[in-house]
Amino acid sequence: MSQWKDAYELLNEMIRKNIKPDVCTYSILIDAFGKEGRITEAQAIFAVMIKCNDKPDVVAFNVLMDGYCLTNNVSESREVFNRIVRSGLAPNIISYNILIDGFCKSKMVDEAMDVFKEMRRKKLVPDIVTYTCLIDGLGKSGRISYVQDLIYEMHDSSQLPDVITYSVLLDALCKRQHLDEATKLFKQIVDRGIQPNVYTYTILIDGLCKGGRLNKAKEIFQHLLLKGYPLNVQSYTSMISGLCKEGLLDEAMALLDRMEENGCLPDLITLENILRGLLEKNENDKAKKFLLEMADRGLLKK
């Protein structure tokens, strides 16, 4: 909190001493406040810039747009976008990407597609961020056929999907329980020489566990353990959750131990999965013992 007060005071001191902040300085402050969710302060800085007769550039408008989207206020972000046009400036690819991402995250996929079409009419070339945002939004809304069209379009325009794009698509397929397609896509990712990251593996393991394909998930997970792949808490939690779901509590507890041996501490979600698994098997005494042990170790609040 005090850092933001210091930033305000520094800005006011600059103005008092007739040290004129430039648009770049204002933009940095607007961006910082926006990324912290302090949109009121971001608006205030923007207003000070206008009051001081500093004309915002596209970057200044963009960071304010992004701030609104980060607080789930995509309608205000759209209004800022419109202000860019009214001020005589031309929105750039970043402006459009912010708006597309904002609409997708607000589950307003039709509006995101309208912005995508508008961008093309303005002869702006979509980049990998544009496509990834749309693929995420379309995938989560179940429009998988549209996603496939975008993937083909990316290849045609030499905007080759990267591991992030493919991971977003993989996540959509897993969440819709299209596991055969997800497994096929994962193989394509590897065959194309793209190295899956821990996020990619976790998506697939989690999807397989939730889709009742525990053995396949275990096969992938064991392969990663044997290779010494640096798995994170989400990876372990997904596997532990899958084991608990099938009532394999001994395996889940053993994996919890292995997880800690490998230097990865469980989080609350990991522990809740094991606790729930024990209770569902009426292992109440074991659940109580486990709860007290975790609390004694400082992993849970007593």
Residue 52 lies in a domain: yes
Residue 53 lies in a domain: yes
Q: Which of 30, 56, 87 is the last residue of a domain?
A: 87
Of 37, 36, 46, 35, the closest CA to residue 11 belongs to: 46
pLDDT value at position 301? 60
Average pLDDT across each block of 10 residues of the chain; the chain has 302 residues. List them in order.
Answer: 63 75 86 89 89 88 96 95 95 97 96 95 94 93 87 87 93 92 94 94 97 95 91 96 94 93 92 92 88 79 54
Residue 300 lies in a domain: yes
Q: Which of 42, 58, 87 is the last residue of a domain?
A: 87
Residue 265 lies in a domain: yes
Give the three-state DSSP class for 267: coil
Query: How many domains does one find in the chain?
Result: 2
Domain holding 261, by residue range, is: 225-302
Residue 174 lies in a domain: no
Helices (H), 122-160: 128-140, 144-156
Residue 6 lies in a domain: yes
| Entry pTM | 0.81
Residue 67 lies in a domain: yes
pLDDT value at position 1? 46
Q: Which of 87, 118, 135 is the last residue of a domain?
A: 87
Q: How many CB atoms lie within 10 A of CB 278?
A: 22
The region that residue 123 occupies, defined by phi over 0 for left and psi between -120 and 50 for alpha, beta otherwise, is left
CATH code of the domain in which 43 resides: 1.25.40.10
Residue 93 lies in a domain: no
pLDDT value at position 5? 66
Q: Which two tokens stand for residue 64?
A: 């304010």
Quote the CA–CA distance of 60 and 26 in Å, as a whole number. 7
pLDDT value at position 123? 92
